């Protein structure tokens, strides 16, 4: 993945962002057509596999335990339930499933084992699997890669300068480390941000500069508009204008010509015309389905209708990279072997107890007469 060297300084990127809108969209559309099939848009589904109760304090997030929101918290879903939802999303045209868990970081426990099984199952279904599970070590990344993970999402959210206005429980550097760990494991990186949190235009460009400074910018850059949820510190934030989202999508497209720019949260507030401008200006993916983790999103059918009107087609999975191989997971195999061994030992112990309590029929011997 390469970035556009013409815009590698903050000044150049800011003047690009501030260009007259139609010129900006035209430039983005030209680049988009050069690097991508402009009629194809990927439909992805986002599934919250573990909701709420998160110890972090991201100011926009209704899943943070410290905020009083209406989120329906639930523990980690079971593997079969997730596979059924994936099947359903695939039948509705989604070629990628992003599974999100409201965790600060991945822990090496039974829940992570379950996620590994989910990744294996969804990849074997022929869908691109992306996970967003919080901070991740290199070892955990390797385990997910081995299970067949295609991409890992970890957003930088905003510029380094503005970040601490929104989040205090996790450093920007820690986010960069997780992205690095995904890279080292050979996992495709999905990382983007949110606009409308009270940041300046310089901060929006600053987010993109963080990706410019990477040796390998993300293959996938989701651009979200804040969905201000009651009970969160950003609940009173004024909604952004649709034009701002179009501008951000187009700037991202030009700055990172090879990446997929994903039009993510905030679509419910956009008209079809505004979404069409985003597709023209380089958005190559939307999230489909009525929920985006916990916030509302247009229904599958509305999106299908929009695709029909705009002449868009849903992109197939693995159009931008080979399907990873799902290998057996050594930890799961060992756990299954130990469980089997315990089962056998238990059975042996049970039959021993039966043997010990077995009282043979008393036989009268000569002595007992």
Give yes or no: 131 in active site: no
Asked if 3 contacts 259 with a C-beta cutoff of 8 angstroms, the reply is: no
> Cα(360)–Cα(330) distance, rounded to whole angstroms?
47
Tally of CB atoms within 10 A around 91: 9
Of 263, 261, 220, residue with least CA distance to 245: 263
Give yes or no: 278 in active site: no
- Token digits of residue 95: 């070629």
Residue 134: phi and psi, rounded to 5, are 90, -160
**In the set 82, 99, 102, 149, which binds ligand SF4 (CB under 6 A)?**
102
Annotated catalytic residue within 33, 66, 96, 190 = 190
Give yes or no: 3 in active site: no
* Size of the residue set binding ligand SF4 (CB under 6 A): 8
Q: Which is it for the CA torsion 305, 307, 308, 313, positive or negative?
A: negative
Per CB under 6 A, does 58 bind ligand SF4? yes
Residues 6+ apart with CB under 8 A from 83: 118, 121, 122, 125
Cross-strand partners of 100: 48, 132
Per CB under 6 A, does 228 bind ligand SF4? no
Per CB under 6 A, does 134 bind ligand SF4? yes
Minimum separation from the CB atom of position 16 to ligand SF4 (A): 29
Asked if 145 contacts 167 with a C-beta cutoff of 8 angstroms, the reply is: no
Kindly indicate which of the ranges 61-69, 178-186, 250-258, 334-342 contains the residues binding ligand SF4, using the contact rule CB under 6 A.
Answer: 61-69
Minimum separation from the CB atom of position 295 to ligand SF4 (A): 11
Per CB under 6 A, does 63 bind ligand SF4? yes
**In the set 41, 43, 47, 61, which binds ligand SF4 (CB under 6 A)?**
61
> Cα(71)–Cα(62) distance, rounded to whole angstroms?
6
Give yes or no: 130 in active site: yes
Annotated catalytic residue within 96, 143, 247, 262 = 262
Minimum separation from the CB atom of position 114 to ligand SF4 (A): 18
Q: Give the footprint of ligand SF4 on this chain (CB under 6 A).
A: 54, 56, 58, 61, 63-64, 102, 134
- The residues assigned a catalytic role are 54, 58, 61, 98, 130, 190, 262
């Amino acid at each position: 993945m390469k970035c556009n060297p013409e815009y590698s300084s903050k000044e150049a990127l800011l003047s690009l962002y501030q260009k007259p809108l139609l010129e900006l969209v035209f430039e983005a559309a030209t680049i988009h057509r050069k690097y991508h099939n402009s009629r194809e848009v990927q439909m992805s589904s986002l599934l919250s596999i573990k909701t709420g109760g998160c110890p972090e304090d991201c100011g926009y997030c209704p899943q943070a335990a410290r905020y009083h929101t209406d989120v329906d918290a639930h523990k980690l879903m079971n593997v079969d339930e997730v596979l059924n939802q994936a099947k359903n999303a695939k039948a509705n045209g989604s070629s990628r499933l992003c599974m999100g868990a409201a965790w600060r970081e991945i822990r090496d426990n039974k829940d992570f084992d379950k996620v590994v099984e989910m990744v294996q199952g969804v990849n074997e279904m022929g869908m691109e699997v992306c996970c967003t599970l919080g901070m991740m070590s290199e070892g955990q990344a390797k385990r997910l890669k081995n299970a067949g993970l295609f991409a890992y999402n970890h957003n930088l959210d905003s510029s380094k300068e503005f970040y601490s206005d929104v989040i205090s429980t996790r450093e920007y550097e820690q986010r960069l480390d997780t992205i690095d760990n995904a890279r080292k494991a050979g996992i495709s990186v999905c990382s983007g941000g949110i606009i409308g949190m009270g940041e300046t235009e310089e901060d929006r460009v600053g987010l993109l500069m963080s990706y410019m400074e990477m040796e390998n910018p993300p293959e996938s850059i989701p651009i979200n508009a804040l969905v201000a949820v009651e009970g969160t510190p950003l609940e009173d934030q004024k909604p952004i204008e649709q034009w701002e989202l179009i501008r951000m999508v187009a700037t991202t497209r030009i700055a990172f010509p090879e990446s997929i720019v994903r039009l993510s949260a905030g679509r419910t507030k956009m008209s079809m015309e505004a979404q069409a401008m985003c597709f023209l200006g380089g958005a190559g993916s939307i999230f489909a389905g009525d929920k985006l983790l916990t916030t509302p999103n247009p229904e599958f059918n509305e999106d299908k209708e929009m695709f029909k009107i705009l002449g868009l087609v849903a992109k197939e999975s693995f159009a931008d990279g080979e399907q990873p191989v799902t290998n057996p997971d050594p930890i799961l195999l060992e756990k299954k072997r130990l469980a089997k061994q315990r089962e056998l030992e238990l059975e042996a112990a049970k039959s021993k107890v039966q043997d010990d309590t077995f009282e043979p029929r008393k036989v009268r011997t000569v002595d007992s007469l």
